[in-house]
Amino acid sequence: MKVFCGRANPTTGSVEWLEEDEHYDYHQEIARSSYADMLHDKDRNIKYYQGIRAAVSRVKNRGQKAIVLDIGTGTGLLSMMAVTAGADFCYAIEVFKPMADAAVKIVKKNGFSDKIKVINKHSTEVTVGPDGDMPCRANILVTELFDTELIGEGALPSYEHAHRHLVQENCEAVPHRATVYAQLVESRRMWSWNKLFPVRVQTSLGEQVIIPPSELERCPGAPSVYDIQLNQVSPTDFTVLSDVLPMFSVDFSKQVSSSAAFYSRQFEPLASGQAQVVLSWWDIEMDPEGKIKCTMAPFWAHSDPKGLQWRDHWMQCVYFLPQEEPIVQGTTHCLVAHHDDYCVWYSLQKTSPEENGRVHQLRPVCDCQAHLLWNRPRFGEINDQDRTDQYAQALRTVLTPDSVCLCVSDGSLLSMLAYFLGAEQIFKANHLENKINIIEKRPELLTTADLEGKKVSLLLGEPFFTTSLLPWHNLYFWYVRTAVDQHLKPGAVVMPQAASLHAMVVEFRDLWRIRSPCGDCEGFDVHIMDDMIKSALDFRESKEAEPHPLWEYPCRSLSEPQRLLTFDFRQPVPQQPVCAEGSMELRRPGRSHGIVLWMEYHLTPDSTVSTGLLEPVDDKGNCCWNPHCKQAVYFLSPTLDPRVPLLGSPRAVTYTVEFHPNTGDITMEFKLTDIPD
């Protein structure tokens, strides 16, 4: 059966109705899931297996049958571990139907159907009793309900319900306990992801400063955690102000509460500075003694930095204090962790909240709107003074005293830069007294009256649009340029004047794991899951690129960067497709995991802004990526399974790339091959 799905096209700006398979959402969910990453997380799997064996053994030693409740079973892996460890029976709960169906097949494939019952329900809907899903309560609770923030996937409410309705009092739990850690730091780089800094512009009248509005300065910021691969942040990018502080623990073997709570830890600063950012992570102990531990600690806080397990399904957290606060070495402060049923946030106080009776339980919420418009990388991009200087320099070459500018980008400061550099009149959604006019219209609805009867002599864009996911989605600027063509003065300047799509073959250090088949996981056959993911990817995603911030995911270049397509913004969007075919020669040995794609915007003939590579690749193939942008990755499936040797030695990647003007889509196909004759 086919269904019609409405979507806003990020490139053209139009709303489209597409005919999709009725299971399209399922395919998308599975294709973009972290199941492969979890199955490749050997440290996680081994620790869970050890913890389950120990829990089953403790129950058996008490002369009891081992009845296991596995909430969020996924592939059924933990349930199969439990049965192998000697559990008498397992109830495996999985709410996502395609996943539950896969778990049934995997359990059967491994010969455990008589000991494992897969229940396709949310755990809060599971019933216990003679006619229920479970005849009796379980005495071992096994779960993997955690995200990078620990509680963001609803772990607390799920545990709370399970203890009240599904498991025995004082049951065994795997994991047994979780502990959340925090470390206070000062970091201009990370603080730039949360606050707008003054923007400095060199003009003919000297330096001008764009000051952030007071509402933005006072705003506590976005309430959500920023989860990143903290191991990729250089230690030179932050100053440690506190020791690693254990903030709170949750004992999963006892009744858990999802009610709002706070926990304070007193500390003496290790150095004086500006308290701005809290770095946080957690560990889980699989046994009551804490001998079997799985930790998310970054390398500087890890007991075995060289043995660090890479994983993408659990990373580390960056939290921003509502305001930066000066702290002085030798004084005493309290770091307070707050949480509700799904979120964690932090505050800094001079005395313990228990002592002064002041506890800010309410979650901080953005009231300046900027944190709703700009995500964290966008804040960093706007705060990048070098980037601002590059745009200012390009503007100086195209502005004239009588320039009439139309600025098109979401939440951009270009209009203010142009004003300070001498444009006569600016039209842009920003407030600068009466010098910048706000036009709240779609570009195709723009009228001469909106422009006060004037023709535009300079069309500006970064371009940046909040709806863009992939690098080329910002080609929306080209469609805007086409829509306002009638309002442009003859010989009007467009900046950027053009854009180009670039690509490079790479070998990832770790990112390949998220698309790599697992086959066998701790002795259990999970090929069915591999096939399910492959089928979902083949539905569409295998033919598409996906966005990743590659500064967090190191890779080596195996080919030279290559320009694939060029888009001339000085002309309207063409009627015919723009196509390119060719090959990229592999110049370095390695496994060709995928193709990285990015856009470069040519502001003027002498100035280019890259959303991808910022520097030439070095002799070893190491890459320096733009940290403010996500690049696109097209995975080459034949190279993603390290167990399968490649046939021959491919020496090139051939490509076919096509831009479709009617939809704004870019379709692509890349193949490993020998260098064509």
Statement: residue 279 has pLDDT above 50: yes
User: Residue 642: what pLDDT?
Assistant: 73
What is the arithmetic mean of pLDDT over 198-223? 88
pLDDT digits (tens, 9 = 90+) for 84-98: 999 999 999 999 998
3-state DSSP call for residue 471?
helix
User: Residue 140: what pLDDT?
Assistant: 98
Contacts of 305 (CB under 8 A, 6+ apart): 299
Asked about 658 being catalytic, the answer comes back as no
Does the pTM surpass 0.85? The reply is yes
Q: In the structure, what pLDDT confidence band is assigned to residue 181 with cuts at 50, 70 and 90? A: very high
User: Residue 210: what pLDDT?
Assistant: 87
Choice among 153, 522, 544, 546 that is catalytic: 153
Amino acid at 640: L
Statement: residue 428 has pLDDT above 50: no
Task: Dig out the tokens for 25 from the structure.
Answer: 């959402």
Are the C-beta atoms of residues 264 and 335 closer than 8 Å to each other? Answer: yes
Q: In the structure, what pLDDT confidence band is assigned to residue 32 with cuts at 50, 70 and 90? A: low
Report strand pairing: 138-143 vs 167-174: parallel
CA 286 to chain centre: 28
Of the listed ranges 441-450, 579-588, 624-633, the least confidently predicted one is 441-450
Question: Could you tell me if residue 370 is left (phi over 0), alpha (psi between -120 and 50 degrees) or otherwise beta?
Answer: alpha
Mean pLDDT of the chain: 90
Find the DSSP H helices in 147-231: 155-165, 188-191, 214-218
**How would you write 495-525 as a 3-class SS string?**
ECCEEEEEEEEEEECCHHHHHCCCCEECCEE
Helices (H) and strands (E) in the chain, counts: 15, 36
CA-based torsion, 90, 96, 97, 103: positive or negative: negative
Q: Which residue has the higher pLDDT, 436 or 46?
A: 46
Statement: residue 481 has pLDDT above 50: yes
Asked about 355 being catalytic, the answer comes back as no
What CA–CA distance (Å, rounded) separates 297 from 291? 16
What is the arithmetic mean of pLDDT over 58-86? 97
What CA–CA distance (Å, rounded) separates 176 from 286? 5
User: Residue 594: what pLDDT?
Assistant: 95
Q: Is the peptide bond before 463 cis (omega within 30 degrees of 0)?
A: yes
> CA angle at residue 184 from 180 to 189, to 5 degrees?
115
Q: In the structure, what pLDDT confidence band is assigned to residue 252 with cuts at 50, 70 and 90? A: very high
Of the listed ranges 55-69, 131-145, 363-377, 497-511, the least confidently predicted one is 363-377
What is the arithmetic mean of pLDDT over 37-62? 96
Q: In the structure, what pLDDT confidence band is assigned to residue 242 with cuts at 50, 70 and 90? A: very high
Q: Tell me 54's DSSP state.
A: H
Burial annotation 270-280 (CB, 10 A radius, 16+ → b, else e): eeebbbbbbbb
Statement: residue 3 has pLDDT above 50: no
Are the C-beta atoms of residues 250 and 163 closer than 8 Å to each other? Answer: no
Statement: residue 430 has pLDDT above 50: no
pLDDT digits (tens, 9 = 90+) for 615-633: 999 999 999 999 999 999 9
Choice among 94, 144, 149, 285 that is catalytic: 144
What is the arithmetic mean of pLDDT over 527-532? 90
Statement: residue 184 has pLDDT above 50: yes
Which residues sit opposite 578 in a β-bridge? 659
What is the arithmetic mean of pLDDT over 509-537? 91
Statement: residue 641 has pLDDT above 50: yes
Are the C-beta atoms of residues 186 and 275 closer than 8 Å to each other? Answer: yes
Q: In the structure, what pLDDT confidence band is assigned to residue 205 with cuts at 50, 70 and 90? A: confident
Instruction: Give the highest mean pLDDT range of 228-232, 362-366, 396-400, 451-455.
Output: 228-232
Instruction: Give the highest mean pLDDT range of 234-248, 527-541, 644-658.
Output: 234-248
Statement: residue 427 has pLDDT above 50: no
Statement: residue 488 has pLDDT above 80: yes
pLDDT digits (tens, 9 = 90+) for 137-157: 999 999 999 999 999 999 999
Q: Is the peptide bond before 175 cis (omega within 30 degrees of 0)?
A: yes
Q: Which residue has the higher pLDDT, 5 or 161?
A: 161
Euclidean distance between the first and the last CA atom of the chain, given in angstroms as a whole number: 45
User: Residue 324: what pLDDT?
Assistant: 95
